[in-house]
Structure formats: structure tokens, C-alpha cells
Amino acid sequence: MSRARADEEEYWHSSKFRAFTFDDEDDELSQLKESKRAVNSLRDIVDDDDDDDDLERVSWSGEPVGRRNRLPSFQSLSNALSDTGVKNYAPELRRPKAEYKDYSSDWSPKDTVKRMQRGKVLIFLKRTLRREILFRELEVRQVALCHLIHFLKETGEQKLLLDLLRFLDRTEEVALSQYREHLNIQDVEKRREFLKGCIGLPFSAEDTSHIQDHYTLLERQIIIEANDRHLETAGQSEIFRKYPRKASILNMPLVTTLFYSCFYHYTEAEGTFSSPTNLKKTFKIPDKQYVLTALAARAKLRAWDDVDALLTTKNWLGYTKKKAPIGFHRVVEILQRNNAPVQVLQEYVRLVEDVETRLNLATKYKCHDVVIETYRDLKDRIQLTAYKCKVERGSAEEQNINSILNNTQIRWKN
Amino acid sequence: MAAHLSSGRVNLTALREAGRRELRQFLDKCAGSKAIVWDEYLTGPFGLIAQYSLLKEHEVEKMVTLKPGRLPQADVKNVIFFVRPKLELMDIITDNVLREDRGRSPQRDFHILFVPRRSLLCEQWLKEQGVLGSFIHREQYSLDLIPVDGDLLSMESESAFKECYLESDQTSLYHAAKGLMTLQALYGTIPQIFGKGECARHVANMMIRMKREFPGSQNSIFPVFDTLLLLDRNVDLLTPLATQLTYEGLIDEIYGIQNTSEDFFDNLTVEQEFMSGIDTDKANNYIEDCIAQKHPLIKILRLVCLQSVCNSGLKQKVLDHYKREILQTYGYEHILTLNNLEKAGLLKLQTSGRNNYPTIRKTLRLWMDDVNEQNPNDISYVYSGYAPLSVRLAQLLARPGWRSIEEVLKMLPGPHFEERQQLPTGLQKKRQHGENRVTLVFFLGGVTYAEIAALRFLSQMEDGGTEYVIATTKLINGTSWIKSLMEKLEPAPF
């Protein structure tokens, strides 16, 4: 220990720039002497500079102080400091790095502030009374401030960083900085606890609701995960037998969780945590997103009836109508990707509003009836005739085409 | 080999030669056979300065990557560490040195080359670990501006934008200034400095101060550069976000991306709509569809940032809507990235209540409807009709000068300024009739291939009057750039 101290002393005495040193072990008087020496030596360095006109000499009373009542002499220090333009007890903070006249090596901000640490200025920081003095001085020293913040982030001095940011009224940064820590917590229960603690932090209004959602989501996921793992091992549930889970739901995004829920828990009542409708309600998932996700999940399971039900709405007269908040061409895409049979696909291709898109999709996916209907509606005899070669000879579709072509009531456009 | 560096108006070979000379000197100092232990990050930039053949000429027999554990056996007299001054790397070096078998014969000498600067802190750290004394030569190799092509210099500093704009860390600006001083030592003092942006102002200040501090550096070299133009990346946030449409730019963008050609064109259509001011104030269907289909997050971020920039920020409702959809689809932890993008000015709230972008676009003629890609007559061909704002500023500086666009300049972030540096008498440049001016454009925060293409286009325009050399902290494309701003997230535990 003393060897390290000796090395450090040597380092500091050999370096041109000195920092405050506060040796805890020394008694107050010699401590003050050391500080006085440090400050006086600064004066020499300061004198080297012809550039700095705004520097003032710091007078130093040097009165002995008891451990408990530091106030008198530190009051005078702080008074002196608050008057001067340039704070010169922590030379590394004195001017931006680029303004140093002579240095054999250049300090990055990390270097700069780590030197502060070497000079035990960090101990200075950790003593609340002096910390406030430093914070106050830093407030007007933007560059030094940035250096310090960067340093505190790098070295994980979280508490100090948050204190500083709070002092500067950068409360949102405090909140986000704290929230970021959750990424370092692997244990999911601990993470949940941590997120709960984040909710009260001074986020912006919108961000607060997101953090709240994050916590709620993880809480739910933990419950779902526990239940489902149980179901899986019990081996009684068909869906889990047929489609064993490839991954845990923990820490997945909300939409992924919804997909999972639509896949494994579709028919559950709203009361359970794992039901899709519960998720929709709790997280206020918009219709569009909900339908899209549920559609993808049911299509994957080839549950065409569920798909149908999703896209059917009943109006007040009891009439049902097919409606898709995402556009039927998207519906078709999703179904096709999941190898929906042509009869199912055809239903929805038929509902695509844009004629050209409808024709493209119908032709692409061999939904012959739709193609035929569309050409008929367009009264396009040429295209319809041409399409005959795309259908099987003697098939019902061919017959259909023929009967339409022979229909004398149609006013063909070509 | 150096042909491409001397092909431009300014022969950058001299710069590379200076770099090589410094490297050779150091290698020769460590006399005898050597092995180099590389900080991986440095291999790229070094590769632009010297090939292995040069190293071999100076008895480098083996090269390995820096990693913890025991160093490979190699029978060499010297082991040299080529590293950045980072504490984490010092730990690895310490591990290497401590595990060295002192019993072996012959013993190997250790040396360190800090790139680009020595660090007292790192050396102190090594001292505390008890290994500092093991190194015989401890030096620095200042690799600031590296010539990449005959008219292109890069600092290869990936984190420069993030450091400057998110962390208010001016280290890279300092290195930029240092690089410019080196450039001036080789190519003469640059008489005129123009700039736009906070970082530009800082760099100019540092240059002036550095010149003052080293009065002996007043050299007698005939100035090659007439003008230096310093530009902050955040003066033009739009250009890197748009998909580049020059050959090189496209390759740079597309490589590694798996979207279909259909999707590519849909993407492009939306981008061009935004850039021409169409529907920038409401949530965009295509973007929402892409989120719904969980396209790569970076693609989404590029598009929403593009919309935000083209709208001078998004209205609260639209911003909240996008944020919510992104967080619900990709995970709440991305709140941190969204926050970074906001800080960088890329995805933010429209505070002033009005959108300045259409004015800027019209005044600077950024959107040219009748672009001819085969026979372009304007720089807008690089984005198929959109002229990069940054390059337009450079173009207008040359002719007719920035005084004509004062109002627009005020709408862009950061101060604009002009400085003059004294040239010793006799070195005042006398231009020959018809001789072009040479302007060095320094992009602080990154430059895209498309911007480079646009400046090259201007250089070879007949009666253009100015030739351009380009410098940057890093060559970027929209993806790499946004990526550098994304919060590093741990992968979700399974």
C-alpha cells in the first residue's frame, strides 16, 4: 500500500500539473498544508501563461480545522472560488484540453478525468460538502463537465453520475441512465424488480408509459413462461405437443409476445394473462397490429376458419362483411406464405380492391375463378380468351370461360 | 502503387510517404527481427499506409492480433504492440507480458507504439501493473489523416459523430486539427478557412491556436490549398440518410442487405417523396407496413429520421405513434437508441412549429426535377434528382460566395465563419490564368460516397473554377452511420 502511495507521489510530483490531494490518513493540519502547497504550486503554473488574464490568486487562511467543523475554512475557500473567473484547484478542469500549451502526450477526456482520480479528486467528490462546490464550478465549465460525465459513465460510477445529473437538472438523462442498467441484469426476476424501480424516475410523460409497459410486459412474460413450461412438461396440451416451443418468451418484444399468445393461447378468455385479448387490452394494441399478428399466427397453424372470423365483421343489421384493416393484398401475402390452399386464398384475392393488383395476385397464385370473374367484369374478351390456355383442358374453369365467352348479353370492349 | 494517390490535383503521396517514413524510423529503432501484435481496430487504417512488404523490409517476421493469454512462440528479437491508448488494451498487454516465459532464450524485447497518441494514463496504468519497465521503446505514431485516394483523406474514426454530437467529446476534433496541421506542414499554410457548424468552429479555433503555439512551424512551402471548408455533419443530416444512387454508393449500401428489388424501389419511392416534401407531416403507410413486417430496425430508423429531417422535426402525434410502434415491435430497450437519435437531431419533435426544409430546398435548389443521369449537368444526379445540401454549400461558396445565402445559412445549425491565415510574404499564391483553385472540404462526422461523387463532378466541370480534395472523420453510409448511434444492447437471454 505504501509502495503504491510512494509511486503515486512520485508520479504527481514529477508531473507538471498537480491536483488537490486529500490524504485521509494525514491529520487535518498537514492536509491543509498539502493543499496550500498544491494551490501555491498551481500559481507557478498559472503564471507561465500569458494568455490567462482572468486568473486570480487564491489566498489561503490555513487555519486548523476539526474533523467535524470544516465549514469555516471551506466557506472561505468556496467564497474565494465563487469570485474567480477561473477555478484553479483542479487544474485538469481549468481549461479545455486543446488549450494546454505544452504536453508530451495528449489527454482524451477519459485520460483527463482518470488523472483526477489518480489525484484522489474523486475522494473529494465523494464528500458531499465539497462535491457541491465542485458541481457548482463544473456547471459553468461545460467542457470539463462533459469530460467528467463521460468518465463517470465509463467507470460505472453510477451513483455519482446520477447525483451530478440531478444537480444539473438533467433529470431525463438520469432516468435513462438508470434504465440502461437493466441490460446488465441477466436474472429475469431481478430485472423485473429493477424495472419496477425505474417507473418512478423522471422520464418524459411518453417515455414513462413505455417504461411502465416494459415492466408490465416482463411481469406477464414471467407468468406465461412459468405456466407454459409446466404445460409443456406435463405433456397434456396438444398445441405444445404438436409445436414444441423453440425459445422462451422472456424479454421478447410486445408484438412477438402477442404472436406467441395468438399461437398458443388463442381461445383463452380475456381474463387470463396469456390470452391475446388481454394483451391487446392491457397494452392498447391498435386493431391493425392485432389483426395482422393474429392473422400471421393462425395462418401458420393453418386455422383458416379463425382467419375468416378475424376478417369478418357483423354490422348492426346482422350482415357480415369482410374487412381487413391492413389491405387484402397483405392478407393474401401472409396466407400464401403459409401455403394456404387455393380455395382459401381465392376468397381473399377476390376482395382485393385494386383491380390490377387483384389480377396480378390471382394470376400468380392460380386463383382461376377470380381471374375469370375479373376479366368478365372488365369485359375484356381478348384477355379472357388468352387465359384459357392457363387452365386445364376440360376443367370446370375452361367450361366457365367458354360459357362466359358465349354469353351474348355481355358487351365486350374488345 | 502510389499512382492513385498522385492522380489528383494534389499529390497525396507525400502524405503517405511521411507516414511510412515515421513508421520505418520506429521499426528500425527496434533493431532486429520483430513480431507485431496488432490492435485489430488499427489494421484497416494501417493498411492504407503500408503493406506487409514494407514491414517485411524492416524485419517484421510475424503479425498477430492482440488478445489475452500467452503470446505465440515466434523466434524474434522484438515484440512490438501497435495499440490505441485504451485502458482495456493495456490490461491485455499486461497479461501478455506477465505470461512471457522469462526463462526462454533468447529473451524478447517489448515495445509499444501508441496510435495516434501516447497516453500518460495508459503508461501509468502499465506502471501500476508492474510491467511498464518491460518496454524499451514507447512511442506514438500520429495517424490522423490517411490518404485513401488521390483526392480523399480519412481519419477512419467511426465514433467521431457520436462523440461530438452525443457526448460533447471533442477528442476527434482535436485529432482533425492535428491532422490539418500535418497537412499544412507538407502542403503549405491554407490561407482561407471557411466553416459552418459548432465542430467546425472548434476545429478552426484549435488550428489557429496550434499555429500560434508553434511559431517555428511557419514554413516556406508554396501553398497547394487555397481554401479549407469545414462542415459539420449535422448541417446536412439528410444526405447520409437517403439511399445513394451512384455506383459506388449503391454497392456500399446494398452489400449485405437482403431486400428484394421490389422492396428496394418502394423504399426509394418513399425516400424521394419525403425529400421532395410530400406528406412529411403524417405517419407513412410504407414505414408502418415495414414495421409490421419487422423489417430490419436500421431501415425503419433511417426512414423515420429522413422524414423527421425533411419536416424539421415531427409533430408530437406522429412521433409518438412511430415510437410506440417501434418499441412494441422491436422491444422497449430501444428507447435508448431513440433517445440518441433525438439528441443527434435526427428524430425529434418539431419545436419551432414551422418546417424550414422546403425553404432550404427551394433556395438551394436541392430538388431538380429534370435530372439526366446519363449526361448530368448538376450534382443532383447522385441521388437521382436530389443535390446533397453539403455539396451545394461548397458549390455556392466557390461561386458566388456565402453572402448570397446568408438567410438560408442561418436556418442551418451552428455558426458560419471565415478566417484568414497569414502567409509569409513571397508565398502569396499567384494563380495562373485559367488555373483552378483548390479547396479542401473537411466533413466533421462522416461523408458518403455520393457526396464524394458530387464533389468530383464539380471538380471536373469545365469552367468550374475549383478542384476539390475531400477529408473526413469517416466514410459512412446511412446504415453504418445510424448503427454507430444505436445503443449497444445485450442480446436477450434465452
For B324-389, give the DSSP string: HHHHHHH-GGGHHHHHHHHHTTSS-B--SSS--HHHHHHHTT-B-SS--SSS-SSGGGGGTSB--H
- pTM of the full structure: 0.78
A330 touches chain B (CB under 8 A): yes
> In the block, which residue shows the cell 444492447?
B489
Helix B297-310 and helix B261-275, axial crossing angle in degrees, nearest 10: 20
What confidence score (pLDDT) does residue B121 get? 80
CB within 8 A of B469, min separation 6: which ones?
Answer: B8, B9, B10, B12, B151, B152, B153, B225, B438, B439, B440, B441
Residue of B147, B37, B144 lying closest to B94 (CA atoms): B37
* Cell numbers at A100, concatenated: 494546454
Exposed, middle or buried: residue A273 (CB in 10 Å: 0-12, 13-18, 19+)? middle
Question: Is the backbone of residue A379 left (phi > 0), alpha (psi -120 to 50) or beta?
Answer: left
Banded model confidence at residue A76, pLDDT cuts 50, 70, 90: very low
Interface test with B, best of A11, A105, A181, A292 (most B CBs within 10 A): A105
pLDDT at A23 over 70: no
What confidence score (pLDDT) does residue A100 get? 37
Asked if the Cβ–Cβ distance from A179 to B177 is below 8 Å, we say no
What confidence score (pLDDT) does residue A185 get? 92
Q: Pairing mode, if any, of strands B227-232 and B34-38?
A: unpaired
Banded model confidence at residue A42, pLDDT cuts 50, 70, 90: very low
If contacts are CB pairs under 8 Å, which of residues 337-366 in chain A contact chain B?
A: none
What confidence score (pLDDT) does residue B118 get? 86
Asked if the Cβ–Cβ distance from B333 to A182 is below 8 Å, we say yes
Type and span of the H or E element at B464: none
pLDDT at A41 over 50: no
Per cent of chain A over pLDDT 90 is 38
Cα-atom radius of gyration of chain A, to the nearest Å? 37
- Higher-confidence residue of A4 and B327: namely B327
Distance, CA of A35 to CA of A39 (rounded, Å):
6
Q: For B108, which DSSP code?
A: P
pLDDT at A293 over 50: yes
Distance, CA of A298 to CA of A344 (rounded, Å):
13
Q: Is B469 helix (H, G, I), strand (E, B) or coil?
A: strand
If contacts are CB pairs under 8 Å, which of residues 54-113 in chain A contact chain B?
A: 96-99, 101, 104-111
Banded model confidence at residue A29, pLDDT cuts 50, 70, 90: very low
* Cell numbers at B100, concatenated: 512471457
The least confident of A54-58, A402-406, B258-262, B321-325 is: A54-58
Q: What's the pLDDT tens digit per position in A109-128? A: 555 555 555 444 445 455 55
Q: What's the pLDDT tens digit per position in B387-418? A: 999 999 999 999 899 999 999 999 999 999 99
* Cell numbers at A61, concatenated: 487562511
* Cell numbers at B369, concatenated: 426535377
A313 DSSP β-pair partners: A321
CB within 8 A of A165, min separation 6: which ones?
Answer: A149, A171, A173, A174, A177
Asked if the Cβ–Cβ distance from B328 to A283 is below 8 Å, we say yes
Q: What's the pLDDT tens digit per position in B30-83? A: 999 999 999 998 988 888 888 889 999 999 999 999 999 999 888 899 999 999
Q: Nearest-CA residue of chain B relative to A218?
A: B332
Asked if the Cβ–Cβ distance from A108 to B171 is below 8 Å, we say yes
Q: In this complex, which of B124, B288, B336 lies closest to A176 when CB atoms are compared?
A: B336
Q: Is B470 helix (H, G, I), strand (E, B) or coil?
A: strand
Residue numbers in B near A98 (CB within 8 A): 170, 174, 177, 202, 205-206, 209
- Residue B34 φ then ψ, to 5°: -140, 155
Residue of A328, A338, A274, A253 lying closest to A301 (CA atoms): A338
Question: Is the backbone of residue B424 left (phi > 0), alpha (psi -120 to 50) or beta?
Answer: beta
Asked if the Cβ–Cβ distance from B120 to A255 is below 8 Å, we say no
What confidence score (pLDDT) does residue A128 get? 52
Asked if the Cβ–Cβ distance from B292 to A250 is below 8 Å, we say no
What confidence score (pLDDT) does residue B302 get? 95
Cα-atom radius of gyration of chain B, to the nearest Å? 25
The number of beta carbons lying within 10 Å of the beta carbon of residue A393 is 7
Residue numbers in A near B486 (CB within 8 A): none
What confidence score (pLDDT) does residue B271 get? 92
pLDDT at A40 over 80: no
CB within 8 A of A356, min separation 6: which ones?
Answer: none
Amino acid in the structure at residue B171? T
What confidence score (pLDDT) does residue A121 get? 47
Distance, CA of B301 to CA of B428 (rounded, Å):
49
Interface test with A, best of B166, B171, B327 (most A CBs within 10 A): B171
Residue of B260, B244, B196, B199 lying closest to B480 (CA atoms): B244
Q: In this complex, which of A149, A188, A206 lies closest to B320 when CB atoms are compared?
A: A206
Shortest distance between the Cα of A115 and any Cα of chain B, in A, equals 7
What value, to the nearest 5°, has the Cα angle with vertex A213 and ends A324 and A178? Answer: 140
Residue numbers in A near B139 (CB within 8 A): none
A236 touches chain B (CB under 8 A): no
Q: Quote ipTM for the complex.
A: 0.82
Amino acid in the structure at residue B183? L
> In the block, which residue shows the cell 524499451?
B136
What confidence score (pLDDT) does residue B282 get? 94
Mean pLDDT on A17-41: 42
CB within 8 A of A303, min separation 6: which ones?
Answer: A266
Exposed, middle or buried: residue A184 (CB in 10 Å: 0-12, 13-18, 19+)? exposed
Mean pLDDT on A60-65: 31
pLDDT at A314 over 70: yes
* Cell numbers at A268, concatenated: 383463452
Asked if the Cβ–Cβ distance from B85 to A111 is below 8 Å, we say yes
Q: What is the sign of the dihedral through the CA atoms of B89, B90, B92 and B96?
A: positive
Type and span of the H or E element at A319: none
A222 touches chain B (CB under 8 A): no
- Residue A357 φ then ψ, to 5°: -60, -40
B111 DSSP β-pair partners: B80, B137
Asked if the Cβ–Cβ distance from A188 to B493 is below 8 Å, we say yes
CB within 8 A of A235, min separation 6: which ones?
Answer: A241
Residue of B60, B52, B2 lying closest to B28 (CA atoms): B60
Residue of A110, A112, A98, A103 lying closest to B159 (CA atoms): A110
> In the block, which residue shows the cell 444526405?
B239
Q: What's the pLDDT tens digit per position in A170-191? A: 888 889 988 999 998 999 999 9
Residue of B80, B148, B12 lying closest to B475 (CA atoms): B148
Distance, CA of B193 to CA of B171 (rounded, Å):
21
Strands (E), B9-150: 34-38, 60-65, 78-83, 109-114, 135-140, 146-149
Q: Pairing mode, if any, of strands B78-83 and A320-322?
A: unpaired
Residue of B331, B293, B327, B324 lying closest to B492 (CA atoms): B331
What confidence score (pLDDT) does residue B246 get? 76
Q: Is A366 helix (H, G, I), strand (E, B) or coil?
A: coil
pLDDT < 50: residue spans in chain B:
1, 491-494
Distance, CA of B455 to CA of B469 (rounded, Å):
8
Cβ pairs A/B, distance under 8 A: 119
What confidence score (pLDDT) does residue A394 get? 87
Q: Pairing mode, if any, of strands B416-420 and B227-232?
A: unpaired
Asked if the Cβ–Cβ distance from B325 to A97 is below 8 Å, we say no
**b/e B137-148 (16+ beta carbons within 10 angstroms → b):** ebbbbbbbbbbb
Amino acid in the structure at residue B20? R
Q: Nearest-CA residue of chain A relative to B211?
A: A101
Asked if the Cβ–Cβ distance from A251 to B289 is below 8 Å, we say no
Mean pLDDT score of chain A = 74
What confidence score (pLDDT) does residue A156 get? 63
Distance, CA of B435 to CA of A22 (rounded, Å):
65
